Homo-oligomer: A and B are copies of this chain.
Amino acid sequence: MATLQETVRELVIANRILAREGVVDAFGHVSVRHPDDPGRYLMSRSRAPELIVADDIMEFALDGEAVDLRGRTPYGERMIHGAVYELRSEAQSVIHNHSYELIPFTVTEARLRPIMHTSAVIGHDIPRWDIRDKFGETDHLVIDMDQGRDLARTLGDRRVALMSRHGCVVAGLSLREAVMSAVYLQVNARMQLQAMQIGTFDCLTPLETEKCTARQVSPLGLDRAWEYWCIRAGSDAL
């Protein structure tokens, strides 16, 4: 099992990867469940993912309370993370982002479907959550556990849920899996938009999606992608 120090280092790298691949800009965040205490998770203080270093990583209880505040400001939307960890004991990592290429699918009626085998990790059925439905006209931020839990219930046991006019939430059985789903979610959105410009498009069946996902998250797929993303994100220099 990974030590806390190893987990923190991998979390810093995950932040850099999401920035390098264009999944996040100044906003968006990634967390990982605490390796020694399933009732806690690790996440950076409020800072752009591209800039995060080990010292920025904080520890939170599932209700969003900081264990070690030390004068640092947490992300306002950390409740998304705690609510997913609370509902899904198997989830080890959560990502929230506003990928520009994803947003068009959060404001239209189109459904995202996996159209390439390597993007099967996004799942065949991607629900969409709209904060308006239960909370009215807000600033769209998920700032309390009520909102977080409502979103987590929409996500259910899936890897990905979209959020109207806002972005998405991604859950993974490991940090690396969550990063892979977030990256290919964006790639699939880009490719599907192009396919829709051509005309009717085909996608993976539910069974194919399941089989392709198993391949992608096996070490052969996941470790190869992780090594690649690490080098691109400059993890050597960290």
Query: Which residues in A have some Cβ–Cβ distance to B below 8 Å?
Result: 25-27, 46-48, 50-51, 73, 76, 98, 100-101, 103-110, 115-118, 137-141, 164-167, 187, 190-191, 193-205, 207-208, 211-212, 214-215, 220-221, 224-225, 227-229, 231-232
Contacts and interface: CB of A to CB of B under 8 A. Distances in A.
Contacts of A193: 194, 197-198
Contact of A105 (B109, B198, B220, B232): B198
B195 A107 contact: yes
Nearest to A197: B197
Contacts of A166: 116-117
B224 A191 contact: no
Given A26-B227, A48-B224, 19 more contacts: A25-B228, A26-B225, A46-B224, A47-B227, A51-B231, A73-B220, A76-B220, A98-B118, A103-B194, A104-B198, A107-B195, A108-B200, A109-B198, A110-B199, A116-B167, A117-B166, A139-B211, A165-B202, A196-B197
Contact of A228 (B50, B205, B214): B50
Nearest to A27: B118
A131 to B, nearest CB: 9
B212 A140 contact: yes
Given A76-B220, A197-B197, A227-B48, A103 B191 contact: yes
Nearest to A207: B137
B140 A117 contact: yes
